[in-house]
């Protein structure tokens, strides 16, 4: 995977972040979702390099080969604000003070927070399979609770760790033929690490508490995305089924928003890399 990319750990004040980076040209940061690692981009990142971009793929705090502090009682050690700060510092350490930003799933919440907190650092942003956490929760329905029950299960103390770590391969099912063997092997190694599982759960616990409050404060103060914003979603996932056109909701959060669905299941970078690369490449090159 990632032929021609450099990889290694970047030491920050309270975290160690594993990154892959390669290419030359305008920089773009790609952030993965749950329970993936930066390897999920292995089909998209090289294709963006071929299109003339410098591409950075990072494991989020506590995911994959990145490490962070011990969880805090209020979940602040894994809130999107501190994880976004990690990513800003990673990009700065690589010499990038302003960059394009792409986030999928949980990584999209980090990307959103980074752009809201540090608008001068983000030239444009693409958010995949994403609505703000507070928008999901304010629209809570029985359908959402049934289909997204894992949000509320992961938020419980201790129980999900015991359940997942008892048989992580059965809990997190992956297909090496779809994911790609090297991506699958990296992902499988990560989900078998109880420390990674704990950090991934803390991501969700923070989402329902401190992250939600941060978003609600953004809405109250009028803080919104000022940069060009691309919203993409998987047509074979349930975002459109639950909410209709996601762009309608995103217009309350972004000044310049556009986007469309892509024929894919949830892990869009693995399942529809050509269509995703085309959409991202055109948007990032504008």
Domain count of the fold of the chain: 1
Q: Report yes or no on 1 lying in a domain.
A: no
The pLDDT value given to residue 202: 98
pLDDT band (50, 70, 90) for residue 130 = very high
pLDDT band (50, 70, 90) for residue 26 = very high
Q: Report yes or no on 213 lying in a domain.
A: yes
pLDDT band (50, 70, 90) for residue 98 = very high
Each residue's pLDDT tens digit, 30-61: 999 999 999 999 999 999 999 999 999 999 99
Rounded Cα–Cα distance for residues 190 and 65 (Å):
7
The pLDDT value given to residue 87: 98
The pLDDT value given to residue 152: 96
The pLDDT value given to residue 70: 95
The pLDDT value given to residue 64: 98
The pLDDT value given to residue 13: 92
Q: Which of 195, 132, 136 is nearest to 161 (CA)?
A: 195
The pLDDT value given to residue 199: 98
End-to-end CA distance of the chain: 28
Q: Report yes or no on 207 lying in a domain.
A: yes
- Global confidence as pTM: 0.97
List, in order, residues 6 or more apart from 76 with CB less than 8 Å away: 82, 206, 210
> Once rounded to an integer, what is the mean pLDDT over residues 169-187?
97
Q: What is the mean pLDDT of the chain?
A: 97
> Once rounded to an integer, what is the mean pLDDT over residues 111-126?
98
The pLDDT value given to residue 220: 97
The pLDDT value given to residue 273: 98
The pLDDT value given to residue 230: 98
DSSP state of 71: P
CATH number for position 239: 3.40.50.1820
pLDDT band (50, 70, 90) for residue 62 = very high
Q: Report yes or no on 237 lying in a domain.
A: yes
> Once rounded to an integer, what is the mean pLDDT over residues 81-107?
98
Q: Report yes or no on 122 lying in a domain.
A: yes
Active site annotation includes 266: yes
Rounded Cα–Cα distance for residues 225 and 71 (Å):
29
The pLDDT value given to residue 88: 98
**Length reported for the chain:** 286
Sheet architecture: strand order including 99-104:
6-11, 16-23, 54-58, 27-31, 99-104, 122-128, 225-234, 254-262
One of 34, 118, 260, 266 is an active-site residue; which one? Answer: 266
**Residue 282 · residue 28 · CB < 8 Å:** no
Residue 35: is the preceding peptide bond cis (ω within 30°)? yes
The pLDDT value given to residue 73: 96
Q: Report yes or no on 272 lying in a domain.
A: yes
Q: Report yes or no on 98 lying in a domain.
A: yes
The pLDDT value given to residue 180: 98
Can you give the residue range of the structural domain that contains 72?
A: 6-285
19's tokens: 């990154």
The pLDDT value given to residue 192: 98
List, in order, residues 6 or more apart from 48 with CB less than 8 Å away: 23, 28, 55, 277, 280, 281, 284
One of 105, 129, 211, 237 is an active-site residue; which one? Answer: 105
């Amino acid at each position: 995977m990632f032929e021609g990319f450099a990889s290694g750990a970047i030491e920050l004040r309270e975290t160690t972040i594993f990154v892959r980076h390669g290419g030359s040209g305008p920089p773009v940061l790609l952030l993965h979702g749950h329970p993936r690692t930066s390897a999920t981009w292995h089909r998209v990142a090289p294709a963006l390099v071929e299109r003339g971009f410098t591409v950075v793929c990072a494991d989020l705090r506590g995911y994959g080969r990145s490490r962070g502090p011990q969880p805090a009682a209020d979940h602040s050690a894994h809130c999107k604000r501190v994880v976004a700060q990690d990513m800003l510092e990673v990009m700065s350490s690589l010499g990038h003070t302003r960059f394009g930003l792409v986030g999928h799933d949980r990584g999209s919440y980090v990307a959103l927070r980074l752009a809201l907190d540090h608008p001068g650092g983000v030239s444009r942003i693409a958010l995949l399979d994403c609505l703000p956490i507070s928008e999901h929760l304010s629209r809570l329905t029985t359908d959402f609770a049934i289909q997204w029950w894992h949000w509320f299960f992961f938020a419980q103390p201790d129980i999900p760790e015991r359940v997942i770590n008892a048989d992580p391969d059965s809990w997190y099912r992956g297909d090496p033929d779809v994911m790609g063997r090297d991506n699958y092997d990296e992902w499988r190694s990560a989900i078998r690490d109880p420390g990674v599982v704990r950090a991934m759960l803390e991501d969700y616990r923070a989402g329902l508490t401190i992250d939600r409050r941060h978003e609600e404060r953004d809405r109250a103060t009028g803080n919104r995305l000022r940069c060009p914003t691309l919203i993409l979603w998987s047509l074979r996932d349930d975002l459109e089924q639950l909410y209709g056109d996601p762009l309608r909701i995103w217009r309350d959060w972004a000044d310049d928003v556009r986007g469309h669905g892509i024929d894919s299941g949830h892990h869009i970078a693995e399942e529809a890399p050509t269509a995703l690369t085309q959409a991202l490449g055109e948007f990032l090159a504008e």
